[in-house]
Structure 1
């Protein structure tokens, strides 16, 4: 209640109910955004109860902004996320939404591509935090201020800064930190992760390497665990290491003390891969029959408390807060014009899925421009999600923006969606 009370109080204090907000009245010293510039018009469609689709465009400009607004007080709607059928494989957002249920009338109303990710061999890994139904699927970045994400709980999103704290404990041994989840041991892209992150070797381009790690693989990974020397760029992933298979109740089922890879994670269980000193720990403490205990904590850096992990909790990573407490919040230096995606919440607790793309090719806006668009939409908090060719907004099974890839909609790692909720509270 603490998080929601603060967000709703701020929203009530700062915003009215309209969309968009008149920027000229509230921010006279700041330039208007693309959607309020001369020549841009707004069209409105109602794809379903509680849903409104706004389209902002100018006949003399190739760019177009789509905004899907979901109002849970007007209809039974819920915000959720999904990684599709496999946490290790990229899938199209349209396919992910259909995989949420086999009953077509309950397919989600709308979806937006989710967090940042990268390829590791023939699988994928997240650039930072990911939680699905209360289970950590990727560790947070270790750098301060790099835990930006959308926390989704009980169908409502909350945008903040979150860190994961992961460890495994064996009888008679001190807790051993886990460096990552569902990624190859030895290297990571986008940010350093894990207890030894301060000593990680940076090879440039946002890539980091670490020769001593323990990585956990969950049953959502749904791919064989990675083998050594999967990438020729790194010596850190050459170590044969060790690998333990752990049942859902924490019992070690098997241990390979001198090798790793090609193992399927048991349902509800884990596979632990260790390299360097991480492999030494597994050899000493993860013998078959041993009962291991796992610690997973999700910490809210804004409020300084832990969020209990249960099936109601999803977390989707982003990068660069754009709006915070209804104020401009972008502090980065990225000036590239690219297709953009964002999730935002506005004053009355409504959720906005926002994209800025080209009508005929790869076009879009800078992150500064995107932040100003969110302000003019009346956002209280807004977070930049993965963009470029990943930018995809789906409404009632149709992609409404033009994907910039020549092949059309791009497969992605996860997606946010507006689904069918319980009983709505209808406004007077």
Structure 2
């Protein structure tokens, strides 16, 4: 009787949980590592790139994989917790093979790789790439109009050559559900060329969210490879304080050129933030808190709080001010916590329940005092008010943490932190990873 070996398409594996034999979670799959071979021989899978709880990315050899099932991967043996570093001979299946333009050997037609099928070799723990799911046509916006077909690895050619202008549609589809911080981790670990291609394929809002989670070097690199008009659009989509931080890393001439391309009102907010010292309330604040007039009701406040684009810290409270409603506002009157909004009838005026006793922060308040303020009053955000009594913005606890942590904390988080070493994933196997 012929032995039936399982075949799995890699798009179904992206982000799924990895478990040890006892059912304890090890992490989540972020990519697969393959070794391309000479001629038409299918590439051999060397292992998995798994993101463990600390956000460290480690390498797990395919010989440790005992099961690839719907929604999970099971591994065994002892795994090495050393951070994964891609070697020059290795290829990332999700990061580098999806969306490649290759050629059908039989007809010479150009096709785009949409997915890749992997299979386990009979009677062994080795895995290799077996099938390629491709679509005919030129790709891009018209890609879906072409015929799609599944072919053997040997039926296509062109994976070994460097490709310029590689798309990113299929890769992004595999990571569609990732949080911005996790997608930032994906981009950080791609090659500069691939990182630029993926960033170019993201829409402005999604790219803005991801940029806010990347180390400064990655932010500057990605922004520098965008066309200036699009770079300005992405900066507008970012939180003003994050956009100000990013622009401050650019040369003066480039910074002014991008500010000139932004909408005047957006550029004005960013310029105002850049005028304050970095580690002060003014330098830390965002200019987009929820501002309501005194005659607004609890129902209106709750409607504003429900905005899904607001961070939890900004949605935690609303600020009551006289007109104008945009920062810098008219006279600041007080704030209302989200919990208080839930306790009062919908028709209640926010001015009647505003906390007027809590002192606001001047914009020149240094970071240690801002931290003490949030801790003393158990706040997740604090109002920043100028000498005339106008609300300038709000400092949120996440922005404070950004500046309390070491400068390279984002990069450490994307690489993974904690001591390197070995951890058990069951009691079988050897400690060496075979690399």
Alignment TM-score, normalising by the size of structure 2: 0.21
Structure with more relative contact order (C-alpha pairs < 8 Å, separation 6 or more): 1
Higher-Rg structure is 2
- Please state which structure has a larger fraction of its residues in strand: 1
- Please state which structure has a larger fraction of its residues in helix: 2
Alignment TM-score, normalising by the size of structure 1: 0.22
